Amino acid sequence: MNYFKTALLLAALTGFVLVAGYLLGGQSGLVIALVAALGMNLFAYWNSDKMVLRMANAQEVGPGDASEFYGIVQELAGRAGLPMPRVYIIDEEQPNAFATGRNPENAAVAATTGLLRHLSREEIAGVMAHELSHVRHRDTLIMTIAATLAGAIGMLASFGGLMGGGRDSEGRPLVNPIVAIAAMFLAPMAAMLVQMAISRGREYEADRAGAEICGQPQWLAAALAKLHAGTQQIPNRAAEANPATAHMYIANPLAAVGGMASLFSTHPPMEERIARLEAMAGEMGGGYRATARPNTNPWTTAVPQAPRRGPWG
């Protein structure tokens, strides 16, 4: 999805917020919706990285805290022509990662302890190259704004539920009950559909660009296979508490929840992503030599990491 389509999508979502506000509260509701939409967009622009990192309980690390991981990000950032982002680790067993920040100069990348524990150095490089491609294309800002607008729509839906029972001085309902009920059900669904549309197209592009940054599409393909298996078995507590951020992760962190959540996945099918990367590897003529893991179930047993040479020599 190109930037023009994304801009139209976000404009449509903002318009939906305003219309919903008007239907739920008349002119007062329109004003509230306008203030909420503008305020949350401005807040997200300046504080998107802090918001998401705080929600994920991420802790910043430096070269002295996680030298191998930090070194991988540093080398990839150089290959991508990007400033060095801030690096964070999330204490979650589910293997996953995301990037955030309003621009490359204020970007941050984060990976879970599960990802660092169970993926090889090459696979970690593939994942972080994917995240840095989001930074280079400024996807992180748009994805965070989508999350905050989704929150605004959820707030308006709650507002509609509260207003639905109110009456004016003549005993008439302040809001048409049918409109209020429809907004309560349709508004969150509309926000989720927008997140899906934004995230799915950008994930394919980030996979392609990330493979180009690290030079080995199979590194990312192998990592995605492991991430898919891990997210199916291990819940992500932080993402479950803040589901509006799910589309920012490289793999759907809510996959282990199941139920209705699986019907509104913000990510494209993992099988299709892996197939595209494997086709890209075939075109590039690249091979993949992953570091072997001695354990048969990587999601139950931690494997100590031995020092390894960098993936580029």
Q: Which residues are catalytic?
A: 131
| Terminal-residue alpha carbon distance, the chain | 35
CA 33 to chain centre: 25
User: Is the separation of the CB atoms in 163 and 180 below 8 Å?
Assistant: yes
DSSP 249: B
- Give me 144's structure tokens: 């965070």
Q: Which residue has the tokens 């191998």?
A: 68
Cα–Cα distance for residue pair 45/66, rounded to 1 Å: 29
User: Is the separation of the CB atoms in 250 and 131 below 8 Å?
Assistant: yes
Cα–Cα distance for residue pair 262/281, rounded to 1 Å: 30
Among 224, 46, 195, 206, which Cα is nearest to 132's? 206
Residue type, 65: D
